[in-house]
Amino acid sequence: MLVIEITINEKKLKIEKDRSILWAANTIGIQIPTLCHDARLQDVGSCRVCVVEVEGENRLIPSCITKVRDGMVVRTDTVRVHKARKSIIELLLSNHPTDCMTCEVCGNCALQDLAHKYGVRESRYFSNPTGGIKKDRNLAIQFDSSKCILCGRCVRICNETQQDEAINFIGRGFDMTIGPAFNDSLLDSSCVLCGQCVSTCPVGALVEKQAVGKARAWELKKVQTVCGYCGVGCNIFLNIKDDKVVKVTSESGTVPNDGNLCVKGRFGKDMIHHPDRLKEPMIRRNGSFKEVTWDEAFDYIAEKLKIIKDKDGPDSIGCIASSRCTNEEDYLMQKFARAVIGTNNIDECART
């Protein structure tokens, strides 16, 4: 691929021809603010917060959708750029509530961060934002249209990544909003409640409904782990407060899922603190289950397997491993079947 030379804020760098100015700036540690950009999606340049000055151009250029050219000279932090970004943020806040103190994503909101950075305390335009929390009988996703900045990231990730095409833009002007066809419930659309829209929303318009009111962003401790629902091994973060999982998130760039999760991985956490969850092994005695120690349970299993093996032979026993386990655990299962039991009756639930 052709490599060219450009200059960004007096720094020269060599870069592949088809890269964007935004990508090039990030490679040398120059952070250009964005709202509609998500590394998982195709850039559309809708928010215009990422505008920069390019030598020889009379207008400001959106850096996310502008490809670099040989000899290009870019400036990302001039007075003109600063003024344009401040005006854009002010326009966004003209139809956006300023309830940051009680907002669910306070401390984790891209618009709030930009308003602070560029010193925007209020808007000179409108004062009563339209919309509000939409009533929807789904139990996973909450949408507040008054906080939506119409960046389109939720629509694009639903179309491009998830390919469900469940939501789109509805209406025009200040009445424009996001939603499924005819503005019905998500349950009446092709939505699979994966929560991809929640993961990409830069503000508080889309949030996890079950996590509302349970914690502020800075109160959450993130514990990185692997989702146990299937064999893909998606990377997730358990967001914990007071030793309880409030919600599950993932981050763009993580392997193998790149921040994407399914409905189970993102919302299937209810069983963690469910009162009916089994915490100790149980053995049926006198017609009812009784809690026992792990050593008692293992001894019981070994005794029963030995009786079956002595009576009917090792091939009367079969072992089924699980894709939810690690490769090492599945290896031990087949070793247990072949070396301990003496049978090749071993299978794995993800074999097909």
> Residue 162 has what DSSP assignment?
S
| pLDDT (average), residues 291-309 | 96
Q: What is the mean pLDDT of the chain?
A: 93
pLDDT band at 2 (very low <50, low <70, confident <90, very high): confident
Is residue 128 over pLDDT 90?
no
pLDDT at 325: 85
Instruction: Return d(Cα 229, Cα 50) in angstroms, integer.
Output: 38
SS3 111: helix
CATH number 3.30.70.20 is the correct assignment for the domain at 100-213: yes
Nearest to 211 by CA among 245, 187, 260: 245
CATH code of the region 3-77: 3.10.20.740
Nearest to 258 by CA among 250, 248, 268: 250
Instruction: Return d(Cα 311, Cα 295) in angstroms, integer.
Output: 24
CA angle (220, 221, 223) in 5-degree steps: 135
Give the pTM. 0.87
DSSP per-residue codes, 41-74: S-----S-TTEEEETT-SS-EETTSPBP-TT-EE
Instruction: Return d(Cα 14, Cα 10) in angstroms, integer.
Output: 13
Handedness of CA 20, 23, 25, 27 (dihedral sign): negative
pLDDT at 352: 57
| pLDDT (average), residues 236-255 | 95
> Residue 113 has what DSSP assignment?
H
| pLDDT (average), residues 146-172 | 95
Q: In the chain, what are the domain boundaries? A: 3-77, 100-213, 215-277, 282-348
pLDDT at 348: 87
pLDDT at 217: 93
| pLDDT (average), residues 61-83 | 96
Instruction: Return d(Cα 153, Cα 134) in angstroms, integer.
Output: 19
Residue-wise pLDDT for 196-238, tens only, equals 999 999 999 999 999 999 999 999 999 999 998 888 889 999 9
Is residue 126 over pLDDT 90?
no
C-alpha dihedral over 295, 298, 303, 304, to 10 degrees?
140
Instruction: Return d(Cα 67, Cα 313) in angstroms, integer.
Output: 70
pLDDT band at 270 (very low <50, low <70, confident <90, very high): confident
pLDDT at 127: 65
**What percent of the chain stands above pLDDT 90?**
84
pLDDT at 232: 87
Q: Which CATH architecture has domain 215-277?
A: Single Sheet (2.20)
Is residue 109 over pLDDT 90?
yes
Residue-wise pLDDT for 6-60, tens only, equals 999 999 999 988 899 999 999 999 999 999 999 999 999 999 999 999 999 999 9
| Tokens found for residue 4 | 């060219």
pLDDT at 124: 77
